[in-house]
């Protein structure tokens, strides 16, 4: 699995005319090596793959990355210099997004004969298409997330603080086997539900609230992402209408997902559904994003995106409508693009839930 990934990267490295690539992005390094330590970098050349790290991680690196040569350094700066010299490299690519200006300055100072070439997205472009093992892990993360949603429903009632709900949710998910949450859970009630990225706070749930619950877990390094909006007490006609509209838009988008589909067109279709009801300006964020080792990765699903969906991509579909001071609704599922269309990984119910 890791060998295949490195081979695919190698093809790109050669295509770019590089003697090698320094991989400093932590998740990119993990993707290619399986190594989960907090320090180290990878050097991939036409023939070799070297995982460089320090004393603390040497044993772990050897165990997690048997397909790579493990090189122990005193400092990353020194290790990198020695490696590019012994490998007699001339043009070395580096991940510009994951390298500080300061580090680059030091590399240039230490190795003036080398041409350092900034690269962007070489490993990320490989990560966009998931293999079976990655999909299996994401599916497990999605299942646990669904369990979390079912569990937390019983805690939702008037008088309970948002932050208590978020805490209970996190405890439950960890207890059930999550390595961690993929981001701090969002529990946004009443007017807070109009803030797409609200932080759970002191506010207590009240009858008449929408509650947006947006959360996910990490299982075997892979993330999940789910949003459901539930209702405390009896919903008003306007609330039912808005909920129904978001649900309809989300179901429309799910129906559009498939290989070869232009993400901007799907995003546009959703906006047209909202525009027909005069609420288009209340959907101010993108339709979704890729999910994998990171909670936000490629592809981006928005009107400005030029990405096209391919089988094996794992993306969210998450339209929402937000009315300042009144509240908001978002419904988000995690799906894998298949050769036919898509398979929805998150299975929590979507009909309006009253608690």
Of 184 and 265, which CB lies nearer to Zn ion in the complex structure? 184
Kindly state the smallest distance separating residue 130's Cβ from Zn ion, in Å.
16
Of 95 and 225, which CB lies nearer to Zn ion in the complex structure? 225
Query: How far, in Å, are 84, 101, 138, 288 from residue 301 at the CA level?
Result: 39, 30, 19, 5
Instruction: Dig out the tokens for 296 from the structure.
Output: 């936000």
Kindly state the smallest distance separating residue 291's Cβ from Zn ion, in Å.
7
Kindly state the smallest distance separating residue 227's Cβ from Zn ion, in Å.
5
Q: What are phi and psi of 73, to 5 degrees?
A: -115, 160
Kindly state the smallest distance separating residue 214's Cβ from Zn ion, in Å.
4
What is the Cα Rg of the chain in Å?
23
* Residue 80 DSSP class: H
Of 266, 289, 277, 299, which Cα lies nearest the Cα of 196?
A: 289
Kindly state the smallest distance separating residue 226's Cβ from Zn ion, in Å.
6
Enumerate binding residues for Zn ion (CB under 5 A): 214, 225, 227, 316, 332
Element containing residue 109 per DSSP (H, E) = helix 101-110
Tell me how many degrees the CA angle 56-119-15 measures, rounded to the nearest 5: 110
State how far the Cα of 179 lies from the Cα of 311, in Å rounded to an integer.
Answer: 27
State how far the Cα of 312 lies from the Cα of 117, in Å rounded to an integer.
Answer: 30
Kindly state the smallest distance separating residue 158's Cβ from Zn ion, in Å.
25
Kindly state the smallest distance separating residue 334's Cβ from Zn ion, in Å.
8
Q: Are 347 and 139 in contact (CB under 8 A)?
A: no
Q: Give the three-class secondary structure for 258.
A: coil
Query: How far, in Å, are 57, 68, 124, 188 from residue 206 at the CA level?
Result: 50, 56, 43, 12
Kindly state the smallest distance separating residue 318's Cβ from Zn ion, in Å.
5
Of 37 and 216, which CB lies nearer to Zn ion in the complex structure? 216
Of 162 and 225, which CB lies nearer to Zn ion in the complex structure? 225
Q: What share of the chain is helix, strand, coil (3-state, %, to 5)?
A: 40, 25, 35
Of 99 and 316, which CB lies nearer to Zn ion in the complex structure? 316
Of 168 and 214, which CB lies nearer to Zn ion in the complex structure? 214
Per-position DSSP letters for 152-208, written without gaps between them: HHTT--TT-BHHHHHHHHHHHHHHTT-SEESSPPEEEEGGGGGSTTPPP-SPBP-TT
Kindly state the smallest distance separating residue 4's Cβ from Zn ion, in Å.
28
| Residue 161 burial by Cβ neighbours in a 10 Å radius (0-12, 13-18, 19+) | middle
């Amino acid at each position: 699995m890791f060998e295949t990934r490195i081979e695919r990267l190698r093809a790109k490295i050669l295509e770019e005319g590089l003697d090698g690539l320094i991989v400093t992005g932590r998740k990119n390094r993990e993707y290619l090596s399986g190594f989960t330590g907090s320090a180290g970098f990878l050097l991939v050349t036409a023939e070799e793959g070297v995982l460089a790290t320090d004393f603390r991680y040497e044993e772990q690196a050897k165990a997690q990355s048997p397909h790579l040569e493990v090189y122990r350094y005193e400092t990353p700066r020194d290790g990198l210099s020695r490696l590019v010299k012994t490998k007699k490299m001339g043009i070395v690519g580096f991940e510009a997004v994951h390298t500080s200006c300061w580090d680059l300055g030091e590399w240039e100072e230490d190795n003036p004969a080398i041409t350092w070439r900034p690269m962007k997205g070489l490993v990320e472009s490989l990560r966009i298409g998931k293999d079976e093992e990655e999909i299996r892990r994401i599916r497990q993360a999605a299942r646990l997330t669904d369990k979390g949603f079912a569990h937390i429903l019983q805690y939702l009632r008037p008088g309970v603080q948002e932050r208590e709900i978020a805490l209970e949710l996190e405890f439950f998910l960890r207890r059930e086997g999550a390595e961690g949450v993929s981001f701090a859970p969002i529990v946004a009630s009443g007017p807070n539900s109009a803030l797409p990225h609200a932080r759970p706070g002191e506010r207590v749930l009240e009858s008449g609230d929408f509650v947006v619950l947006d959360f996910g877990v990490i299982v075997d390094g892979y993330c999940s992402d789910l949003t459901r909006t539930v209702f405390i007490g009896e919903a008003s006609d306007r609330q039912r209408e808005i909920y129904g509209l978001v649900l309809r838009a989300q179901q429309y988008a799910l129906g559009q997902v498939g290989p070869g589909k232009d993400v901007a067109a799907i995003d546009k279709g959703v906006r047209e559904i909202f525009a027909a009801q005069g609420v288009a300006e209340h959907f101010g964020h993108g339709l979704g994003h890729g999910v994998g080792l990171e909670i936000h990765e490629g592809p981006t699903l928005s009107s400005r995106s030029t990405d096209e969906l391919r089988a094996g991509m794992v993306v969210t579909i998450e339209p929402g409508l937000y009315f300042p001071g009144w509240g908001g609704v978002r419904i988000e599922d995690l799906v894998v693009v298949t050769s036919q269309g898509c398979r929805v990984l998150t299975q929590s119910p979507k009909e309006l839930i009253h608690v």
